[in-house]
Structure 1
């Protein structure tokens, strides 16, 4: 037995010696001595490699042995060096500019540039190249750097340099992060990424937001970068209809290891089309894209940025080409904040014939374990493929040192004292008292939300405070208390509500509320509190109608499986009709007058319903097809779905129990999907719902099925909504069908008009439909424009074929 252990020891020692890892490093410059950034360095005939940093410095961890090292980047001749590695080795290289010639290319008789024939061949092969790799795995390193290069000293009286930790000139790195992960892909669009390591400057306990999938740009797709920098994306230079958007110029042809490569300049046919500018490199015969260096400018429709540059290099693997590195650089200027930065991804160790285990692709697109941010400096020294620049090294060191100070009790106590000071401005806008050590927070709602006016209560106040206790790992509970008093009707109400979020990975919570309050007769709401107060006081129009509710509620929600969410809620309430008690207004308009609190009898205060008790149970299932999510140590985060969402709800009014007066059963089904891509034509969204009261033996107005109507100039910005439907008159206790559709052209038309192009307006068209026993075949159509959170639309409303309303509607997305 002793000899076995000795033999095993010798074997392991010999094996470790033979597998000794060393470091190959150096600098890469051009013939003028200027550093060349982001050069790909890899071992010939393998997918083992790295990339130089922005200063042209590289390191490559490599086993001892003899290799051919290839240095390759766009615009320079590839360089091969035979090296023997027996220990740490330094090799500085100089790359020669690539030489392209037109001598080998014949100009066709019609004078068309030879680039067009190359592009036509590449377009013919587009689908084949798009589908030629069915699946792969790769190791991916991602580094993200965001910097401010200029900023105002103060914004809203806040010291910007102090908040963003930049110098007095407003310059400095505001985000620096690195990550390594194992990336899996399977056609047509299945991905799974598992983060191996993560590092964020100044946040040792944080996890990087880097995602390899965010850097996935496939030029064989017709449209690129949808919903990333623009809602409608950009046309690939080798898309099926690329010749309608681009002109091409052959800059030359070169030969690399017997392979003929064409260098082609891509030029927009129209200045403001959503297209790239720059260079692409295409291989003769196979017509693969082998390199790309392209950019977008502000006039192409990119949001918030001035320019976006994408440089992608490819590595020959088997009979195809796979990305070896991608570099995305950007800059911009937003309200005086000038910024720039880059994200770089390095791919290595490709496997094009992976054997994935069952349920490998289960909707989890990224998994981050707790241990990924616990890697020490030695790990990063041995596993970081791109060396840090001097500036990045300083940023890590400085911010890590600052974090030690910022997490100390003395510092937190001083911040707590400073941030918890309450001034007059804070009383108006609201303020929060934080207790860092105990992770507690007290939030006082702003004064402007606590004062209101309506014709039921007159002037009223409703101060509220919310207490939140952070339990760690995104678990918390909160308790909100509110009191409300109307000075005209002399009615005092108050309630308390609480939510306990106990399983963030299951989106699970328990909620409880009890007390009394004044509520809108339409449970979807009619107007905002501010909007109704303004209309009542200045325009003598009291749109919103109210009732009093005394209640106790208990509910819970929880994810049953990926994409399937269940909810159940029990409620007991005593509902009381209210009437107007105030006619006060700032302006007395001759043609306007207040209406009663009963929307069906505007000229008399007729009770809409008697005081009654209601015991109800509501249960629902919500399912998202193809739901994807990110698993982080602090929870599960759903990603926007590419497929519809189905929501099934059952509500039961129970008679006789706890003196309950109601007796009804409502079943409803809703199908919706948001932002369905229409390529260059923008995107559209829809909601279709239907429901029926299976039993309506005893039901009162507050428990009916209500709809999101609108009686005023201002409307809701999001679906589901009606622009002209009355808030209250067409609620139902029977069956109903409603549908909403909206298309956003994302500047497809306005981008072609010089004046409108500068405004960056997005065109919208939409339609809504409602049918129920007292409102058959009601339809609305509208068109308009929106910019950021504001929109203006003009619409028409029809009862059957008869037009019943039309006009402008404005909205804002706060």
Structure 2
């Protein structure tokens, strides 16, 4: 039935196309040079297209006579009349001349202001009427994304790019070629106040069964702060040339005016007053009298605080879609980047058509699903794409689709043949001694009915040293089996650990089973994921279950500075856990843990550098307990929930994905120590409530916070392992931001009190202030500041404040921290961590 529908759709599309005539042609300037992405449309309508990168275009129209308008920024608009035949095509070429502007007659006075400033002031006063001129509208956006490499390095991160990989990418021997090509058609619906929905009707990606890049790049210069793609390009956004405070940031020059359709258009040069501010340079054209944006061409560079990309150029043409309403008709974003030797260029083309200014929506149309994919989004035929594509493909694009799609179909058709599976298994390479010791490896059986993965964690990356076990060797591997028909997976991970000094051998294992469920409903569908876990054996644990210090850092400080900060104990344990995550991002976790806790003491005094004034401390939280704890058993049950209200989603054909909310995340947990069951010696009740969020203030930076309160309702029997610990840090390397205290001791403030409060707050200025400092603005280093605190009572409290620099080499962050313990001045220290464009995206191990 599905194939029949596809054939019927293709037939209908072919029939419709047969009833339309086609207007084809090229757009050139007077020198005969092709004009890429010029706007071509039917006068008086929103039906139109743009030229390709080689200046060619086509329009499919029903038979009749039309006035076709051709427009390009910097050139005079041209209109031509054409009669479209009932079948076949008609050629209509355009030659555009450079826009001739005339200067207004002005009276020259000493210190006279350029006429551009008054025009810009008028545009600023009127922009509130144009930022969202319609109560609601719908339109369609054709989106084409193209990325081409100009050069590729021989190696990336030390890994050689093999010739076979170059061919699969579609580049030649020197690394030139198309590495990404996609197109899509998306319906956009808007309704005040701020309701938006995108329906991705179709999408394709060259050489892939994916959907391509489907989201229109809404760049609204009527907003004070302009977002371009993602906040990663600049979390502060960019200041519009007609922002409320634009005259503080920009200089303007009047270039003259020209006339179109009886309306005078003023051409203004936009000049950033300062480098290393989030500012544009280029040209903006403003209509006389009503002061709208007619068109623009604006550029961003590294001196605009642009991250990742080297340059970005934005071109927009606005057209009237009704008597008093103008909207963006065409938009092209050109970009270049050179990262790790990968030199590339690309563009994002958006063509907006079929505007409807008074649509009707059903009551449930605007919901928390903001992006919805059609169930057949990537199953459209070539005939379909040829019928809806407003911009003709270039020869290299046609070739790219043909070659890569053929390769994709070949791989798909042969994917599970014996030759294919044998080839892929062989491609995984041999298991070498270096992979076992340092590199690690993964092996896959390439069986679609019962896929199995085996992953080995390299031995040398798990070697550590401590004063209890001496040299520690760990080994870990995971085997995972998937059940595609029932959408379930099972994984088994055994661990072994041996300490050469105390000669203790520990072994434990974990088993996980998870299932993903998807249920259709009238809003599209709901998804959920359930994970069951079972673990047990004999292991080594830190007294603070949050693991405030990593084995690697403890090894470095123990061997080189005679500091044994990590405190550990052995335990026979068994754990069963259950986790449920719903598509509204509600997460519920339940857990039952049994531990037979065994004390272990220091067995070695070895360190590389000896210092008679430094003595290793005992292997227990000596700040809170006078001697090593006594072996005991603990049975602990816990339950927690986490929720972020107002969650928004992307609805894919077969699942639903949460993409965030404007509200903070809330979490609550409860932990119960159960006495006299299975020999348990603990009896306590402990609760915690937390709230956290990131708040982007654009030009003024981004604030992140996390606040928690909690305490013990019952503290009858609380071993040191179950105290409330505040994650300290006594290393020069920063511990997890927003979850620790950079200068606090690890256990000195641990408590069993009935109430405590914890707060973490930091503000990332993202270039605000530092872009006034010559060296800092060139390096694009940013300020960060904030504080951390906890309060138990007047005798147990802690505050630290910090200020620092981040985005050093896009990776590092350095803070100076001052602490106050129990109301008394503590210490001042330096902390080095990860922060900035790349460093901020790296998650430290939990």
Work out which of the residue numbers 797, 806, 821 in structure 2 matches 1:799. Answer: 821
Contact 1:77 1:95 in 2 (8 A): no
Work out which of the residue numbers 450, 454, 461 in structure 2 matches 1:442. Answer: 454
Moved more, 431-440 or 294-303: 431-440
Contact 2:562 2:609 in 1 (8 A): yes
Moved more, 795-804 or 114-123: 795-804
Aligned residue number for residue 708 of structure 2: 689
Q: Is 2:381 the partner of 1:376?
A: yes
- Rate the CA distance shift 1:632–1:705 in 2: closer, same or farther, 3 A: farther
Shift of 1:160: 5.2
Moved more, 301-310 or 590-599: 590-599
Aligned residue number for residue 789 of structure 1: 811
Aligned residue number for residue 700 of structure 1: 719
Q: Secondary structure at the match of 2:405?
A: helix
Aligned residue number for residue 422 of structure 1: 431
- Rate the CA distance shift 1:749–1:480 in 2: closer, same or farther, 3 A: same
Deviations 1:743-797 (A, max 9, x none): 1111223323332233221111111111014754421101111123311110100
Aligned residue number for residue 179 of structure 1: 184
Shift of 1:329: 0.8
CA distance in 2, matches of 1:99, 1:404: 49
Q: Is 2:393 the partner of 1:367?
A: no
Q: Secondary structure at the match of 1:309?
A: strand
Work out which of the residue numbers 242, 252, 257 in structure 2 matches 1:248. Answer: 252
Aligned residue number for residue 537 of structure 1: 559
CA distance in 1, matches of 2:152, 2:311: 19
Shift of 1:582: 2.1
Shift of 1:60: 2.3
- Rate the CA distance shift 1:116–1:772 in 2: closer, same or farther, 3 A: same
CA distance in 1, matches of 2:645, 2:116: 44
Shift of 1:360: 2.5
Contact 2:640 2:670 in 1 (8 A): yes
Moved more, 25-34 or 241-250: 25-34
Q: Is 2:502 the partner of 1:502?
A: no
Give 1:48-197 correspondences, 5 Å limit: 48-85=47-84, 86-107=86-107, 109=109, 110-155=111-156, 156-159=158-161, 161-164=163-166, 165=169, 166-197=171-202
- Rate the CA distance shift 1:729–1:634 in 2: closer, same or farther, 3 A: farther
- Rate the CA distance shift 1:631–1:108 in 2: closer, same or farther, 3 A: farther
Contact 1:722 1:780 in 2 (8 A): yes
Shift of 1:516: 2.5
Aligned residue number for residue 238 of structure 1: 242
Deviations 1:686-738 (A, max 9, x none): 11111121222222222222222101111125322211111122222221101
Q: Is 2:587 the partner of 1:587?
A: no
Q: Is 2:650 the partner of 1:630?
A: yes
Contact 1:41 1:49 in 2 (8 A): yes
CA distance in 2, matches of 1:631, 1:723: 41
CA distance in 2, matches of 1:656, 1:754: 67
Q: Secondary structure at the match of 2:377?
A: helix
Moved more, 18-27 or 259-268: 18-27
CA distance in 2, matches of 1:134, 1:507: 39
CA distance in 1, matches of 2:788, 2:247: 38
CA distance in 2, matches of 1:338, 1:223: 30
Shift of 1:94: 1.9
Work out which of the residue numbers 792, 795, 816 in structure 2 matches 1:772. Answer: 792
Q: Secondary structure at the match of 2:376?
A: helix
Moved more, 559-568 or 616-625: 559-568
Aligned residue number for residue 485 of structure 1: 498
CA distance in 2, matches of 1:108, 1:321: 35
Contact 1:597 1:605 in 2 (8 A): no
Work out which of the residue numbers 607, 616, 626 in structure 1 matches 2:628. Answer: 607
Question: How high is the TM-score relative to the length of structure 2?
Answer: 0.90
Give 1:397-476 correspondences, 5 Å limit: 397-407=402-412, 408=414, 409=417, 410-427=419-436, 428-438=438-448, 439-472=451-484, 476=489
Contact 1:526 1:709 in 2 (8 A): yes
CA distance in 1, matches of 2:571, 2:60: 70
Q: Secondary structure at the match of 2:618?
A: coil
- Rate the CA distance shift 1:411–1:770 in 2: closer, same or farther, 3 A: same
Shift of 1:575: 2.4
Deviations 1:511-545 (A, max 9, x none): 33222311111111122221111111122111111
For structure 1, which runs of at least 5 residues remain unmatched after alignment? 1-12
Moved more, 89-98 or 221-230: 89-98
Aligned residue number for residue 658 of structure 1: 678
Aligned residue number for residue 522 of structure 2: none
Q: Is 2:575 the partner of 1:553?
A: yes
Contact 2:795 2:822 in 1 (8 A): no
CA distance in 2, matches of 1:549, 1:194: 54
Q: Is 2:752 the partner of 1:733?
A: yes
Shift of 1:485: 1.6
Shift of 1:161: 4.8
Aligned residue number for residue 45 of structure 2: 46
Shift of 1:412: 4.4
CA distance in 1, matches of 2:614, 2:222: 62
- Rate the CA distance shift 1:511–1:227 in 2: closer, same or farther, 3 A: same
CA distance in 1, matches of 2:376, 2:701: 41
CA distance in 2, matches of 1:629, 1:294: 32
CA distance in 1, matches of 2:795, 2:467: 29
CA distance in 1, matches of 2:650, 2:108: 53
Aligned residue number for residue 9 of structure 1: none
RMSD (Å) for aligned C-alpha atoms: 2.4
- Rate the CA distance shift 1:601–1:732 in 2: closer, same or farther, 3 A: closer
Q: Secondary structure at the match of 1:131?
A: coil
CA distance in 2, matches of 1:316, 1:790: 49
Aligned residue number for residue 35 of structure 2: 36
Shift of 1:65: 2.8
CA distance in 2, matches of 1:137, 1:414: 50
CA distance in 2, matches of 1:420, 1:403: 23
- Rate the CA distance shift 1:478–1:26 in 2: closer, same or farther, 3 A: farther
Contact 1:68 1:83 in 2 (8 A): yes
- Rate the CA distance shift 1:158–1:724 in 2: closer, same or farther, 3 A: same
Q: Secondary structure at the match of 2:425?
A: helix
Deviations 1:87-119 (A, max 9, x none): 232323223235343344535745211110010
Moved more, 236-245 or 168-177: 168-177
CA distance in 2, matches of 1:704, 1:65: 82
Deviations 1:223-256 (A, max 9, x none): 1127141121111100011001101111111111
Pairs aligned (count): 795
CA distance in 2, matches of 1:189, 1:515: 54
Contact 1:579 1:605 in 2 (8 A): no
CA distance in 1, matches of 2:572, 2:656: 36
Aligned residue number for residue 521 of structure 2: none
CA distance in 2, matches of 1:329, 1:717: 38
Contact 1:19 1:63 in 2 (8 A): no
Aligned residue number for residue 7 of structure 2: none
CA distance in 2, matches of 1:413, 1:187: 57
Shift of 1:129: 1.5
Shift of 1:801: 4.3
For structure 2, which runs of at least 5 residues remain unmatched after alignment? 1-11, 518-526
Q: Is 2:274 the partner of 1:270?
A: yes
Q: Secondary structure at the match of 1:35?
A: coil
Q: Is 2:543 the partner of 1:521?
A: yes
- Rate the CA distance shift 1:138–1:510 in 2: closer, same or farther, 3 A: farther
Q: Secondary structure at the match of 1:672?
A: strand
CA distance in 2, matches of 1:591, 1:105: 86
Q: Secondary structure at the match of 1:122?
A: helix
Aligned residue number for residue 7 of structure 1: none
Q: Secondary structure at the match of 1:615?
A: strand
Shift of 1:568: 2.2
